[in-house]
Each structure stands twice: as C-alpha cells, then as structure tokens.
C-alpha cells in the first residue's frame, strides 16, 4: 500500500513485532525488532533508543 506510513531503518511499513524509540525527535519512531538486532522487546520499565538517538 503506497499510502501506508514507513517506519524503521529499512523504510518499510508496519509488520511483525515493533519497538518504539523513546527519543523525542526520532525521525523513525517505530522499528521492526528484527532490524534493531534485538532478540526480544525490553521490559516496559526500560527506555529504548535507536542508534540515531
């Protein structure tokens, strides 16, 4: 779908497990877990920041 928002370093749409960056000015905001290199989503009390933030 060309109108679907693009996320992550890869620039693809939302699919699979996603993780949100806590950076207030993050240009991506949401990331595919597989693109971050993480094996699982961190606990809710852990703030996660992408490599750019």
Known binding-site residues for Zn(2+) equal 8, 10, 21, 26, 32, 35, 50, 53
27: left (phi over 0), alpha (psi -120 to 50) or beta: alpha
3-state percent breakdown (helix, strand, coil) of the chain, nearest 5: 10, 15, 75
Binding residues, as ranges, are 8, 10, 21, 26, 32, 35, 50, 53
């Amino acid at each position: 779908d060309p109108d679907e928002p693009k996320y992550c370093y890869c620039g693809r749409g939302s699919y699979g497990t996603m993780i949100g960056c806590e950076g207030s000015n993050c240009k991506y905001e949401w990331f595919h877990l597989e693109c971050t290199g993480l094996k699982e989503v961190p606990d809710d009390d852990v703030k996660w920041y992408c490599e750019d933030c």
